[in-house]
Each structure stands twice: as structure tokens, then as C-alpha cells.
């Protein structure tokens, strides 16, 4: 590509922008429209000459002749021009006459010194993606209902028989019923996990963010697993630490992540060993750690341990989704999760979340 | 409503298998009488003739779904005092929220644990009473 580079570059770039498969609009730092490409004219139905020089907030009034941009577009544009960093991605609803979803992504254009030269916006019709997304949600909802209904009958019947509803049962019968009960419980967990991860991946999860005391959160989750740890003869302890900032997170989801990591650790810990949980502040972030003294994770498996359905050999009847859900939830909270394998024996799972503004002791 | 005051429960559920399992479970774990309605419409009819102390309501039912049934129960001065608990496989956050916004006091998700169903109902009523 070195041929006549200096002479072709400007024309090549303008040709690229002109023929770009998404609508492109360039605005000056005061949001006056400088330039639009062919696709943008096609999307809006407004000629380039009409758009040129106009303030971007006037766009909806022009559009209304061709498309019905909806009342929200005006508010969305005002918000964009006031807080471009917070509103960098917006989706407009245009009726022309059928409903189309138009996604606008905006980025500042800066020179080498960081001076703002312009804003560049791309506009694409994301209606099809949105429809697929809605179909996926609908499928999740229907699948959830259709699978849970027969499962309720199976679980209910087995639990009632084992609970003594029909009178005493002979040992071999009990053994067979218990096999069925364990399998149906596992199936229910699997369905719940599949629905959970589909929901997170489809961006359909709603986080109820609140300020949480990190230490209290850890103690509370550890307490809820005390009976399980005792049953496995594992010494579950919270390691002492200094003051830790609060986090801004969804309580149920955080408990879900911690429960998953702790119960995994307990499950793989040999009897009479410890599982240690801790929470510390590391460079203005809150780091939770769960350490066990089990057989650890082979180095070649570390990279894939958080992948869906990736289970280690000898995995004890998990769904293969627990860690994938943990990672998805932590990322949804703006944090990160990893496993430290260099500890020996055993493994140490850690995740970090940004500290909330208010510091708690 | 105090859990101790419950004598009769109206269960609105269209699946016969689940009707049986839920009824057996409640009769095994409590002294409550359980009457059954096969859909929302029937639930509204039976609520007048049976005068239940509590209604267990499925969300997805033919003829009239649980949400509409709950809305009507809460709109009628004669029935709005009867506590409603959803017992349903519609377990997504939005669906749970919708049920509670319609005036239900609690939400139980299928598959339920038949050995704990009565205890969970008592727990919901207890919590509701404390919050009042």
C-alpha cells in the first residue's frame, strides 16, 4: 500500500467515508454539522446541502418531514451536546412509517495535543439486531416457563415421596428416588444458569446498584455457607484485614458470585483443610479473594476456566456455567475476575470492583 | 393476615399435575383446606363462593392470566383484602416486579420445594405483617 501514499490518502479517506456502510456525520466542536456521507442522506432523507451548517439539535425538525423521529430524539440530542462523554451511544426510534431503531455512536476527534477538532457520529439502522434480541428474550421467557412447568411436577412428586407423604419407603426404593431427585435438582440448576447467562449476554440484566459494605457482604455470604462447609469438614474462615471501602453493586448478584466461588472452593477442598475468604483494598479497588488448599487448576486450563461449559476433569456435577456467570456479572459491574494458580497447593480466585465514593471502615 | 388465621387457600393453576402436587404438599405440611381453580376467570368466580383466606396464583393461565386476575382482585373492594401470592414459572425480574406492583404480597417461583411450600407462605405473610 505504499504506492503514491501521500497523494492518494486524502481522496482515499474521503472516498472511504463517503461510501461507508453506516451514516457518518461530522460536527464542529459547537455541534454545527460540517459534513455528511451518502448513507446518512439515505437514512435521513434530507439532502446534504440542507444539513450543512445546521446545529445538530435541529436535525429532528428536518427529519419530521420524512421520518417521525419521536419526541425523545430532541432530548437525546440536547443531552449529547451537553454531555458528549455520557451520551456517546444513543438509539433513536424513527417511524417511517414502520418503527426503525437508529443507533448513533459519537466520538470526539482530537489532534495530537488533545485539542478538540470535531465530533464524528455514525448512524446505523439496528432494527434487525434489536428484533433478534427481542426474539431471544421472548425465547428465554417461554423456555423458562415451558421447562419449569414439567420440572415442578417431577420435583414435587419425588420430594413428596421422599418426604414421607405416601408412608415409609424401602431403602432400595429410596435410593432410586434420591437418584431421580438429585438429577432433577441438577437439571433445575442448569436451566437457571442457562437462563441467567443468556439474560446477561443479551444485556437484559437489571442491576439494583446500592452502596454495600464490602466486609459485611463477605461475612454474610460466608455465614450462609457455614453449614455446607461443616458438612464437608472444611474450615471456612474470613481472614482479618484492615478497613475496606464500600462498593456500588447489586447485593443479590454479589452474593451469587461469592457463593459460587466459596461453594466451588468447599466442594474441591479435601476434608480437614481450610477455605479462606478475604477482602482488601488494592489501589482504590476492592479485591475479594477465595483461597482453597485442594488439587488446584492445571496451568493449561487456567485460560479457559471462565468459559461456558468448560469443566475440569473430575468436576463434581456442576453446570459448567457458574464461573462464566461470575465473570459476566463482575464485568457488568465494571470489575474483573481471575484465578491465581501460582499458589500451591490449591487455587485462589480473586475479583476486583471499583470502590464506591463513600469510604466505610 | 396472620398465617395462623388461614383456613382455606384458593389455588389458581391450569396444570393438573401441579394442582395435585401443590395440594398434596399444602395438606401434608399444614391444616389448610385447598380449593382449586383452573384459570383466572374461575378464580374470580370461586373467590366469591369459597371465601378463601389466601390466593395462590399462577401467572400464565388460559382465559385470564394471573396478572389480570390479580389486578381485578385488588380493584374489587370485596376481594382486595385477600392476600395474593404468585406461584409461577415466570421468574424473570421484570415479571416478579410486575406481580408485586399489582398488589401481590409475595412471589414464589416454580419449581417449588413441596416440603417447604407452606413454610414459605407463612414466611411471606409474617414479613408482610411486620412491615405493616
Q: Is the pTM of this model over 0.90?
A: no
* Of residues A132 and B21, more confidently modeled: B21
- Residue A3's pLDDT is 45
C-beta of residue A297 within 8 angstroms of C-beta of residue A268: no
Task: Kindly report the average pLDDT of chain A as a whole number.
Answer: 85
Nearest Cα residue in chain B from A187? B111
To which H or E segment does residue A7 belong? helix A5-18
Say what the pLDDT of residue A77 is: 83
Using the Cβ of B22 and the Cβ atoms of chain A, whether some distance falls under 8 Å is answered with yes
A317 or A354, greater pLDDT: A354
* Least trusted range by pLDDT, from A11-15, A218-222, B118-122: A11-15
Distances in Å between the Cα of A26 and the Cα atoms of A13, A41, A121, A143, A239 are 14, 13, 6, 45, 55
Per-residue b or e along A1-30, where b marks 16 or more CB atoms closer than 10 Å to that residue's CB: eeeeeeeeeeeeeeeebeeeebbbbbbbee
Weakest mean pLDDT among A9-13, A29-33, B109-113 = A9-13
Compare all CA atoms of chain B with the CA of A199 and give the residue at the minimum distance. B92
Question: Cβ–Cβ of A156/B89 closer than 8 Å?
Answer: no
ipTM here: 0.84
pLDDT at residue A2 tops 50 = no
Question: Does A206 touch chain B if contact means CB atoms closer than 8 Å?
Answer: yes
Q: Which residue of B has its CA nearest to A149?
A: B89
A348: pLDDT confidence band, cut at 50, 70 and 90? very high
Q: Which of B21, B90, B113 sits opposite A153 (nearest CB)?
A: B21
Question: Mean pLDDT throughout A234-254?
Answer: 90
Asked if B100 is an interface residue toward chain A (Cβ–Cβ < 8 A), one would say no
Which residue of B19, B25, B59, B92 to mutate against A (max A Cβ within 10 Å)?
B92
> How far does the CA of residue B38 sit from the closest CA of chain A (Å)?
15
- Among A152, A163, A195, the residue with its CB nearest the CB of B110 is A152
Min Cα separation B78/chain A (Å) = 32
Q: Give which of A139, A157, A159 to mutate to test B binding, by max B Cβ within 10 Å.
A: A159
pLDDT tens for A269-303 read: 999 999 999 999 988 899 999 999 988 888 777 77
The beta-strand segments (E) located in chain B are 8-12, 33-37, 54-57, 84-88, 106-109
Q: How much is the pLDDT for A219?
A: 94
Percent above pLDDT 90 for chain A = 39
**Pairwise CB contact (< 8 Å): B115 & A160:** yes
State whether residue B16 sits within 8 Å of chain A by CB: no
Q: Is A188 part of the contact surface with chain B (CB cutoff 8 Å)? A: yes
Q: With an 8 Å Cβ cutoff, are A148 and B111 in contact?
A: yes
On whether any CB of chain B is under 8 Å from the CB of A238, the answer is no
CA atoms within 13 A on the CB side of A157: 13
Q: State the DSSP code for A354.
A: E
Of A149, A163, A199, the CB nearest to B115: A163
Q: Which has the higher per-residue pLDDT, A354 or A318?
A: A354
Q: Tell me the pLDDT band of A71, cut-offs 50, 70 and 90.
A: low
Q: A144 CB near a chain B CB, below 8 Å?
A: yes
Note the helical H segments in A225-339: 226-231, 251-268, 322-332
B100 vs A contacts (CB less than 8 Å): none
How many angstroms separate the CA of residue A195 from the nearest CA in chain B?
9
Model confidence pLDDT, tens digit, residues A19-58: 999 999 999 999 999 999 999 998 888 889 988 999 988 8
State the cell numbers at A36: 455528511
Task: Give the separation between CA B81 and CA B52, rounded to whole angstroms.
Answer: 11
Residues 53-92 of B with CB under 8 A from A: 60, 89-92
| Interatomic CA distance for residues A297 and A301, integer angstroms | 7
DSSP A144-166: HHHHHHHHHHHHHHHHHHHTTTT
Amino acid at each position: 500500500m505504499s504506492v503514491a501514499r501521500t497523494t492518494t490518502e486524502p481522496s482515499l479517506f474521503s472516498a472511504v467515508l463517503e461510501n461507508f456502510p453506516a451514516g457518518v456525520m461530522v460536527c464542529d466542536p459547537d455541534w454545527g454539522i460540517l459534513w455528511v456521507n451518502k448513507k446518512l442522506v439515505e437514512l435521513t432523507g434530507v439532502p446534504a446541502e440542507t444539513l450543512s451548517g445546521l446545529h445538530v439539535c435541529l436535525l429532528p425538525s428536518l427529519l419530521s418531514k420524512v421520518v417521525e423521529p419521536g419526541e425523545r430524539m430532541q432530548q437525546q440530542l440536547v443531552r449529547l451536546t451537553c454531555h458528549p462523554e455520557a451520551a456517546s451511544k444513543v438509539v433513536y426510534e424513527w417511524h417511517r412509517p414502520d418503527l426503525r431503531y437508529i443507533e448513533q455512536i459519537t466520538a470526539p476527534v482530537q489532534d495530537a495535543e488533545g485539542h478538540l477538532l470535531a465530533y464524528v457520529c455514525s448512524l446505523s439502522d439496528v432494527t434487525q439486531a434489536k428484533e433478534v434480541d427481542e426474539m431471544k428474550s421472548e425465547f428465554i421467557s417461554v423456555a423458562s416457563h415451558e421447562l419449569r412447568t414439567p420440572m415442578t411436577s417431577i420435583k414435587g412428586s419425588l420430594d413428596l415421596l421422599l418426604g414421607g407423604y405416601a408412608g415409609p419407603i424401602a431403602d432400595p426404593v429410596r435410593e432410586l428416588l434420591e437418584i431421580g431427585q438429585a438429577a432433577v435438582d441438577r437439571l433445575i440448576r442448569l436451566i437457571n444458569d442457562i437462563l441467567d447467562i443468556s439474560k446477561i449476554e443479551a444485556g437484559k440484566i437489571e442491576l439494583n446498584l446500592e452502596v454495600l459494605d464490602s466486609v459485611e457482604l463477605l461475612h454474610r455470604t460466608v455465614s450462609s455457607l457455614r453449614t455446607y462447609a461443616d458438612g464437608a469438614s472444611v474450615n471456612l474462615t474470613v481472614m482479618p484485614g484492615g478497613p475496606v471501602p464500600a462498593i456500588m453493586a447489586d447485593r443479590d448478584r454479589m452474593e451469587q458470585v461469592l457463593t459460587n466461588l466459596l461453594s466451588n472452593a468447599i466442594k474441591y477442598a479435601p476434608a480437614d483443610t481450610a477455605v479462606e475468604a478475604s477482602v482488601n483494598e488494592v489501589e482504590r479497588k476492592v479485591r475479594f479473594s477465595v483461597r482453597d488448599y485442594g488439587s488446584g487448576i492445571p496451568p493449561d486450563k487456567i485460560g479457559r476456566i471462565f468459559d461456558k461449559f468448560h469443566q475440569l476433569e473430575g468436576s463434581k456435577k456442576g453446570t459448567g456455567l457458574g464461573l462464566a456467570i461470575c465473570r459476566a456479572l463482575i464485568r457488568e459491574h465494571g470489575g474483573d475476575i481471575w484465578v491465581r494458580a501460582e499458589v500451591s497447593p490449591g487455587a485462589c480466585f480473586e475479583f476486583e470492583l471499583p470502590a464506591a465514593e463513600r469510604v466505610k471502615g | 393476615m396472620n398465617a395462623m388465621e388461614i383456613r382455606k387457600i384458593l389455588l389458581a393453576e391450569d396444570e393438573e399435575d401441579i394442582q395435585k402436587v401443590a395440594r398434596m404438599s399444602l395438606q401434608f405440611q399444614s391444616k389448610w383446606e385447598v380449593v382449586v381453580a383452573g384459570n383466572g376467570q374461575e378464580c374470580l368466580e370461586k373467590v366469591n363462593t369459597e371465601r378463601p383466606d389466601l390466593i395462590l396464583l399462577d401467572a400464565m393461565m388460559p382465559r385470564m392470566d394471573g396478572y389480570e386476575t390479580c389486578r381485578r382482585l385488588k380493584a374489587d373492594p370485596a376481594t382486595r383484602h385477600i392476600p395474593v401470592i404468585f406461584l409461577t414459572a415466570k421468574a424473570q425480574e421484570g415479571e416478579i416486579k410486575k406481580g408485586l406492583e399489582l398488589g401481590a404480597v409475595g412471589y414464589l417461583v416454580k419449581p417449588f420445594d413441596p416440603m417447604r411450600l407452606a413454610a414459605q407462605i407463612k414466611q411471606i405473610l409474617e414479613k408482610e405483617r411486620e412491615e405493616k
